[in-house]
């Protein structure tokens, strides 16, 4: 059995010595570097590619850049036989080059005879992470695939992709979200911070409802954290619940009235006893002055 090579030292451990990570990132190619122009029609995407979503607008932008400047950074390929190749890293550049109607694309063909399937997958994952091409869910799924397919521990994955174990753990926790909420994160309707704040919500329907509320009301991450924390408070007796419900109704009505009167967002947070706090948003010094003037006039 061939001895496994790690990725702790970076891509240079896996890619032939003539190819350096800086070259892959688009730096000047040193003399003697083996880069070939491969016909685009002979190249196939990798079905195991971590990246599943390609933004068409950004692909169009990249295609226009390629029309003007060409493909600056070569893609990585593995030979498939019959004079065909499979993409290891660079599918986005390949798609954009195709969109730009190029016939060929610069590529580095890896010597896969001395590489394992795992090493090829790791190269693809690292290249995408370094280019920040993966959305948060794609990245989390890629880590999960490495762990499940090759029985790696999270700290081993962290070493291979040059990230902290905490970063890997936090990334994979996003997969606890429902499919609908994950899709909202992929579609950039939510930020990663919003998504993480929703992870403790175990009820799928409630999680989805809260996610939609975040998007509709443009809530901050702090707002969501407070909202989710409030869900975990112990329930009171029937009388207490009715009282809380009535207070909440009053609070929401007052919030709406004050928001209209002051021209800015107002939040009332109660503790169930009638006490609580009033939060009034302001964004500039002028905003603060206008709000205080209105409050003084009402005093």
Q: Which residues contact 227 (CB under 8 A, 6 or more apart)?
A: 210, 219
Q: Please report the domains of the chain, with CATH numbers, ordered by start residue.
A: 11-171 (3.90.1530.30), 177-231 (no CATH), 241-298 (no CATH)
> Phi then psi for 268, rounded to 5 degrees?
-110, 120
Q: Is 284 left (phi over 0), alpha (psi -120 to 50) or beta?
A: beta
- CA pair distance 75, 84, nearest whole angstrom: 14
How high is the pLDDT of residue 241? 47
| 207 vs 111, more confident | 207
Angle subtended by helix axes 204-217 and 221-231, to nearest 10:
150
> For the segment 87-104, what is each residue's pLDDT rounded down to a tens digit?
888 888 898 999 999 999
> For the segment 142-185, what is each residue's pLDDT rounded down to a tens digit?
888 888 877 888 888 888 777 888 999 999 999 999 999 999 99
> For the segment 195-208, what is each residue's pLDDT rounded down to a tens digit?
999 999 989 999 99
> For the segment 3-51, what is each residue's pLDDT rounded down to a tens digit?
333 333 343 443 343 343 333 333 333 344 488 899 999 999 877 665 6
What's this model's pTM, rounded to 2 decimal places? Answer: 0.54
C-alpha count within 13 angstroms, C-beta hemisphere, residue 223: 15
Percent above pLDDT 90 for the chain: 26
- CA pair distance 230, 27, nearest whole angstrom: 51
How high is the pLDDT of residue 240? 47
Which of 91, 119, 138, 139 is an active site residue? 91
CA angle at 193 for the pair 269 and 155, rounded to the nearest 5°: 135
CB 15 within 8 A of CB 119: no
Q: How far is CA 117 from CA 35, 156, 183, in A?
A: 22, 17, 29
> Phi then psi for 273, rounded to 5 degrees?
-105, 0
Tell me, yes or no, if 256 is annotated catalytic.
no
**Residue whose token pair is 């009820």:** 203
């Amino acid at each position: 059995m061939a001895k496994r090579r790690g990725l702790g030292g970076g891509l240079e451990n896996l890619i032939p010595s003539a190819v350096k990570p800086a070259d892959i990132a688009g730096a000047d190619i040193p003399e003697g570097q083996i880069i070939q122009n491969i016909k685009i029609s002979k190249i196939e995407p990798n079905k195991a590619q971590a990246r599943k979503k390609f933004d068409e607008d950004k692909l169009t932008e990249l295609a226009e850049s390629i029309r003007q400047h060409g493909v600056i950074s070569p893609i990585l390929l593995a030979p498939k036989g019959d004079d065909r190749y499979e993409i290891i890293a660079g599918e986005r550049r390949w798609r954009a080059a195709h969109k730009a109607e190029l016939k060929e694309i610069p590529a580095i063909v890896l010597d896969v005879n001395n590489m394992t399937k795992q090493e090829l997958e790791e190269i693809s994952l690292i290249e995408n992470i370094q280019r920040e091409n993966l959305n948060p869910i794609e990245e989390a799924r890629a880590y999960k695939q490495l762990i499940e397919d090759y029985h790696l521990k999270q700290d081993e994955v962290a070493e291979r992709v040059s990230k902290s174990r905490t970063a890997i753990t936090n990334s994979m926790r996003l997969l606890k979200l429902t499919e609908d909420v994950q899709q909202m994160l992929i579609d950039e309707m939510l930020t990663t911070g919003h998504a993480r704040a929703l992870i403790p919500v175990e009820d799928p329907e409630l999680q989805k409802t809260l996610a939609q509320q975040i998007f509709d009301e443009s809530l901050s991450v702090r707002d969501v954290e407070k909202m989710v924390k409030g869900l975990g408070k112990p329930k009171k007796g029937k009388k207490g619940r009715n009282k809380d419900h009535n207070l909440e109704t009053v609070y929401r009505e007052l919030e709406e009235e004050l928001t209209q009167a002051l021209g800015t967002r107002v939040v009332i947070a109660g503790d169930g006893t009638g006490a609580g706090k009033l939060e009034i948003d302001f964004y500039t010094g002028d905003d603060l002055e206008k709000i205080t003037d209105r409050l003084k006039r009402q005093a």
